[in-house]
Amino acid sequence: MNSLLLLIPLSILLLVGAGFALFWAVDHGQFDDMETPGLLPLVDADGAPPNLAPGDSAAAASKDEMFP
């Protein structure tokens, strides 16, 4: 019975801490892009550079190829 006097306030503090961490993560944009991190291991970084038309930038072409 005495252990409940310690465990109940401890569980409430843990719940408040988890809620604070969740709201902090949402406010700081941690859940803005849920698809890209899952695709990054599939991107072949050692491949040949893409064929670019004159006037195209390498960053725009690689972004288009990486995420259709």
Residue 55: predicted pLDDT: 60
The per-residue pLDDT for range 14-55, each reduced to its tens digit, is: 999 999 999 999 999 888 888 888 888 887 766 655 665 666
Contact 31, 19 (CB under 8 A): no
Tokens of 14: 């843990």
Burial label for 11, CB within 10 Å (0-12, 13-18, 19+), is exposed
Q: Where are the alpha helices (DSSP H) in the chain?
A: 2-27, 36-39, 58-66
Confidence of residue 59 (pLDDT cuts 50, 70, 90): low
In the chain, where the domains are located: 1-32, 33-68
Q: What is the pTM of this model?
A: 0.51
